[in-house]
Amino acid sequence: MMLARTANHAGRPLHVLDVATGSGDLPLAMAHRARGLGLDIRWSVCDVSAHALDVAKDRAEQAGFAFAAHRLDATADELPTTDVSICSLFVHHLDQPQVVGVLRGMKQASTMALGVADLDRSRLGYLLAWIASRALTRSPVVHVDALLSVRAGFRPVDVMRMAMDAGLDGATLDRAWPARWRLWWTAP
């Protein structure tokens, strides 16, 4: 976990911003994991939806965490300064110029590092989305949306090109199960 390494290296409380958090699933899961590892991480979340932020803050509070919340549009607004910014399962909703803009914004906001994870547009990803969406629900909306999301995802080669366009020299990308990619960049 790159975030744990960064937190250990910081030698002080680490400030992390989850970009386009939605209901806060990712930072909440990571906050639980960080607590179990004894890491001192201060969490902030941002989203364009006030309702999503309310849900994220309420869920965090119920779990014993405090999330600072910022209502903003990550594709248009300046992100608050933080040590590390993260973003998961958001960029497949954007076109390539928007992704480059979000990555630039995350870089400008992050003093130490940034991480992004999203869907890998691949045959395997499409197949897994088809199987999982049908195994987990009978909703035709989910059946269609799961496949459209994979189609809207980016291939790793495209992600690296967008990362370079955003000025993330030295960024690394690896694949993650199931059919996802993870981009990590550390500030020089």
Q: Identify the pLDDT of residue 61.
A: 96
Give the homologous superfamily in CATH for domain 2-120+155-186.
Vaccinia Virus protein VP39 (3.40.50.150)
pTM above 0.85?
Answer: yes
Q: Identify the pLDDT of residue 126.
A: 87
- Compute the distance between CA of residue 125 and CA of residue 177 in angstroms, rounded to an integer: 10
Q: For residue range 21-73, what is the model confidence (pLDDT) as tens digits?
A: 999 999 999 999 999 999 999 999 999 999 999 999 999 999 999 999 999 99
Q: For residue range 125-176, what is the model confidence (pLDDT) as tens digits?
A: 889 899 999 999 999 899 899 999 999 999 999 999 999 999 999 999 999 9
- Compute the distance between CA of residue 51 and CA of residue 47 in angstroms, rounded to an integer: 9
Question: Is residue 102 within 8 Å of 87, Cβ to Cβ?
Answer: yes
Write down the domain spans for the chain. Answer: 2-120+155-186, 121-153
